[in-house]
Amino acid sequence: MNSRVWLGAVAYDPKVVTIWEAMRQYFKEEAGLPIDVVLFQSYERQVEALLSSKIDIAWNTNLAYVKSEFLSHGQCLKVAMRDTDRNWTTKIITLKGGQISTLKDLRGKVLALGSRDSAHAAILPKYFLEKQGLSPGVDYNALRFDTDVGKHGDTGTSEVNVLRAVMDGTADAGAVGSPFMDRVQREKLVPEGALKEVWESPTFTHCVFTGRAGLDLNVQEKFADALFGMSFENEKHRPILEMEGLRHWIKPEDGYGSLREAASKQRLLEISYD
């Protein structure tokens, strides 16, 4: 393989083009590592490309990573992640003053879930609730919003729909990721005091750069070192980091155990062709 690295990213938003053009320039001019960025319409196609070595590194969601890990028999490896990819949780929210105060109150009620391939708004809520003795269609009725399938919940559209369903009473409660809930509170997207959090899941990890099977470890290390060389204090780097939602790139951690088990139980580890 030559020194050029082929990097995959999913175009879930127009800003992705801006981010990765800026990253491409940074890698070339400051890190001395030329990269070409290939944009995909879905994480399923990106995982396929990584497994077939059409790209070297993929900027993956947690679900895309565990799929890549499973289908490569553990040969696809974590390379680097954002500081903001640690300690995500799923939250169950409801209207303040409503009938639901604890998880047991969900019995017989309607729970809104996000896109079916969103780890934080669908896969893990179902998984964690089953561990609490609550199964969809048996103990509660699931109202699903499959509005951005293929993007693994990156657009946030399905979580907006979950929030609306809770606010207008279509659903008794809803499942969203902690970063989305932080944004709701920070940007005051609902009246203050309108919502309450009924339950919060154990923590899990979100996105991670994933290297293909057989990728030269020197290339992988050089790519990671280039990321670690970006500084929020650098005026050229800061806008890129802010657009990508982080302050520092960090060494990869795990935190994927719950999702590995959930995706296996829900038969989500194979590539979907929907």
* Residue 274 belongs to a domain: no
Q: Whole-angstrom Cα distance, residue 71 to residue 271? A: 9
Q: In terms of residue numbers, what domain contains 48?
A: 5-85+207-261
Same domain for 172 and 71: no
The whole-angstrom separation of Cα 203 and Cα 62 is 13
- Give the per-residue pLDDT at 2: 52
Q: 196-244: per-residue pLDDT in tens?
A: 999 999 999 999 999 999 999 999 999 999 999 999 999 999 999 999 9
260-266 average pLDDT score: 98
Conformation bin of residue 69: beta by default, left when phi > 0, alpha when psi is -120 to 50: alpha
Q: Are residues 62 and 148 in the same domain?
A: no
266: exposed, middle or buried (Cβ count in 10 Å: 0-12, 13-18, 19+):
middle
Is 100 found in the same domain as 123? yes
Residue 138 CB partners (closer than 8 Å, separation 6+): none
Sort 148 into a burial class: Cβ within 10 Å, 0-12 / 13-18 / 19+: buried
- Whether 1 shows a pLDDT value over 60: the answer reads no
Res 168 pLDDT > 60: yes
pLDDT category, 274, cuts 50, 70, 90? low
CATH number of the domain to which 227 belongs: 3.40.190.10
pLDDT tens for 6-44 read 999 999 999 999 999 999 999 999 999 999 999 999 999
Radius of gyration of the chain measured on its C-alpha atoms: 19
Q: Indicate yes or no: pTM above 0.85.
A: yes
Domains of the chain: total: 2
